[in-house]
Amino acid sequence: MLDLLTDRPRASHRVADESKVPILLDIPLIQSLKKVATENDMELSMVVVTGWVAVLARLSNQDDILIGYHDTESSGLGSGHQADSSNIIPLRLDLSDEPSTFQLLERVRKTASSSMNRRVLVRDNITETAGSPLCQVAFRWNQASLHSPSLVRVELELQLQEQDNEVIGNMKFHSDLFNLDTVERHVGYLCSMLQVIAADEDRLVKSVDLLSQAERDLVLAKWNETQREYPAELCIHHLFEQQVKQTPQSTALVLNGQSLTFAELNARANRLAHRLIELGVQPESLVAICVDRSFTMIVALLAILKAGGAYVPLDPSYASERLRDILKDASPGILIGDYHGKHVLGSDILSTLTVVDPNMVEANSDPKR
């Protein structure tokens, strides 16, 4: 199976709702692709399917690509022959060593010719589900009617035929898995890949830029427009406290099925902050934190900021010697540590610090404070 990203999860019992995106490969592109086909002693269909295989490798981030391949010309079948489970060839390509477009063309030619000579049947190589052949991705070439249904169920099927020196067709897809705009982008990627195959046989398949200018602008520009105006004179814990006032009962944290509201998180941070102030924490005081990733970690960070200090984060998954070196360099006077954090650091290090267990502070504090 190809690890294709879908817009919706694959269900065990899907509704067979098929949609199509039209495709037109114009005369100049087809002339260039025919030249490539002639130079490599292969059919035009094989050049086109090479582009499709290359795109699938990029979409799935996989090097082992398997698709169903049906070409009425190459298979010796008539153009009106239906693409059923007995004449689709399983075409499997290996892109593991980063081939150039020329190298991938050669692999497609050899693999397709070998498969057709052996007359391998898809039902012997593709998984069958509920008695009906399932071919995840397929390619159909020069069938008499592109509107006729395929007898093989597919998630994505590239259906093309040559007509008046152009190539027309569509990309058929299951709309319960993919959105229309997603498949339209896939078609755009195919056209980009075919343009490169026609122009540059030395280009590495994985280096081809598939994005259109519009999609590139969307990804690099629009989605990165993250600059926002905000009250720069306020610290993060001040902004947090403003949010507490606005939505005190809204969920602030979720972990392993448990949650804290903004009001609850603020109360716990305040209680720990009061304890730190009692221990002498003031502006620019360094306080180390060595706790598991949990509510406690967020509470501790906020508490230190509320007390006016600066935190020194220690990951308890690090080696003890590394944590000790960090403590030696930073020289904090206070450590906030839970059971795991204190165990990792060891008693000799803890004896040199004022240690605060946030869980003990919480257990011994007035919950109304």
pLDDT in tens, 199-219: 998 899 998 988 878 888 888
Radius of gyration, CA atoms only, the chain: 31
What mean pLDDT is predicted for residues 275-297? 92
pLDDT of residue 78 exceeding 60: no
Instruction: Report yes or no: 354 and 335 within 8 Å, Cβ to Cβ.
Output: yes
- For the ranges 101-105, 232-236, 343-347, 352-356, the lowest mean pLDDT is seen at 232-236
pLDDT of residue 151 exceeding 70: no
Show the CA angle centred on residue 283, arms to residues 280 and 286, nearest 5°. Answer: 70
- For the ranges 124-138, 243-257, 350-364, the lowest mean pLDDT is seen at 124-138
Residue type, 16: A
Among candidate residues 304, 272, 311, the one with its CA nearest the CA of residue 288 = 311
Model-wide pTM > 0.75: no
Instruction: Report yes or no: 58 and 209 within 8 Å, Cβ to Cβ.
Output: no
* Model pLDDT, residue 218: 83
Residue type, 145: S
Q: Report d(CA 66, CA 69) in Å as an integer.
A: 9
Instruction: Report yes or no: 152 and 84 within 8 Å, Cβ to Cβ.
Output: yes
* Model pLDDT, residue 72: 60
Among candidate residues 252, 289, 249, 293, the one with its CA nearest the CA of residue 272 = 289
CATH 3.40.50.980 maps onto the chain at 236-364
- For the ranges 56-60, 143-147, 269-273, 302-306, the lowest mean pLDDT is seen at 143-147
Please state, as a whole number, how many other Cβ atoms lie within 10 Å of the Cβ of residue 61: 11
* Model pLDDT, residue 130: 41
Show the CA angle centred on residue 46, arms to residues 45 and 51, nearest 5°. Answer: 100
Per CATH, the architecture of 236-364 is what? 3-Layer(aba) Sandwich (3.40)
Residue 27 DSSP SS3: helix
* Model pLDDT, residue 237: 92
Superfamily designation of domain 18-224: Nonribosomal peptide synthetase, condensation domain (3.30.559.30)
CATH 3.30.559.30 maps onto the chain at 18-224
Of the pLDDT bands very low, low, confident and very high (cuts 50, 70, 90), residue 9 is confident
Q: Report d(CA 267, CA 58) in Å as an integer.
A: 49
* Model pLDDT, residue 87: 63
* Model pLDDT, residue 128: 44
Among candidate residues 155, 215, 157, the one with its CA nearest the CA of residue 3 = 155
What mean pLDDT is predicted for residues 19-30? 93
> Of 333 and 78, which is predicted with more confidence?
333
Among candidate residues 148, 144, 150, the one with its CA nearest the CA of residue 69 = 150
In the numeric block, the tokens 């082992």 are attached to: 64
pLDDT of residue 244 exceeding 60: yes
pLDDT of residue 148 exceeding 80: no
**What single DSSP character describes residue 23?**
E
* Model pLDDT, residue 152: 56
Residues 6+ apart with CB under 8 A from 128: 134
What mean pLDDT is predicted for residues 168-194? 93
Count of all residues that appear for the chain in the document: 369
Q: What is the mean pLDDT of the chain?
A: 84
Q: Report d(CA 5, CA 16) in Å as an integer.
A: 19
pLDDT of residue 368 exceeding 80: no
pLDDT of residue 76 exceeding 50: no
* Model pLDDT, residue 349: 86
What mean pLDDT is predicted for residues 333-352? 90
